Amino acid sequence: MAKEAIIKLQDVWRTYQLGKIELTVLKNVSLEIEKGSFVSIMGPSGSGKSTLMHIIGCLDFPDRGKVFLNGNDILNLSQNNLADIRGKEIGFVFQQFNLLRNLNALENVMLPMAFQEIARREREKRAKKLLSSFGLGSRIYHKPAELSGGQQQIVAIARSLANNPELILADELTGNLDSKSGEMIMEILSNLHKTEGKTIVVVTHDRHIASYSQKIIHIRDGMIEEGS
């Protein structure tokens, strides 16, 4: 029996206007991602994979087609509802870490919970627990500049989990890391998938990174390749 889809795209197109030029990045994309799955989206530079991730994460919207998150058509939701969904149901991890440089590791992880109006004591307790579970318990008061690239990415992953989302989206998350740190990060994601049942979607051009997933979706020239 097939699992319920957490993400479903139907005939999605996305075109950007660059001056007088129209650039169609996604062309008639349809896919389903099941709850509790670990999926990689692979493709060369310029294939449309990051745009696809942004649409899956409700950060961008199609010009044509439908996008459903847990059965809800995101194009029918208000901006407030979309912001609430992004804050509670989706965790984002990016290649550039996107940590606030003036905040320490603990404060960076606490931040998403503040937007959900969680009490400070509870925010601090959960942030400390997350960072300690990933081996950074002794570094919680260090700012990003005082952490290695791998440690910064771990903080970013902990931050993405702050509100206990069901879906984790990771865009080239090992691109700025050495191979050892990259392996460590992927082991963390694999463990989250196996032990907590998180749905993981990784965008990558690296076959080794994609090998951690259960399914690989190949995209080229804005289209999903047959067999993906």
Q: Give the domains, in start order, of the chain with CATH numbers.
A: 37-60+89-224 (3.40.50.300)
Mean pLDDT by 10 residues, the chain (228 residues): 84 93 95 95 91 92 94 89 87 89 97 92 95 93 95 94 94 85 90 93 91 94 83
Closest CA to 85 of 123, 58, 48: 58
As a whole number of angstroms, the distance between CA 38 and CA 75 comes to 25
Q: Report CA-CA distances (Å) from 1 to 33, 34, 192, 220.
A: 15, 12, 23, 30
Token readout for 21 is 């030029």
Question: Which one-letter amino acid corresponds to residue 93?
Answer: V
**Structure confidence at residue 119 (pLDDT):** 94
Hey, how many other C-beta atoms are within 10 angstroms of the C-beta on 67?
Answer: 20
Assign 136 to helix, strand or coil: coil
**Structure confidence at residue 228 (pLDDT):** 64
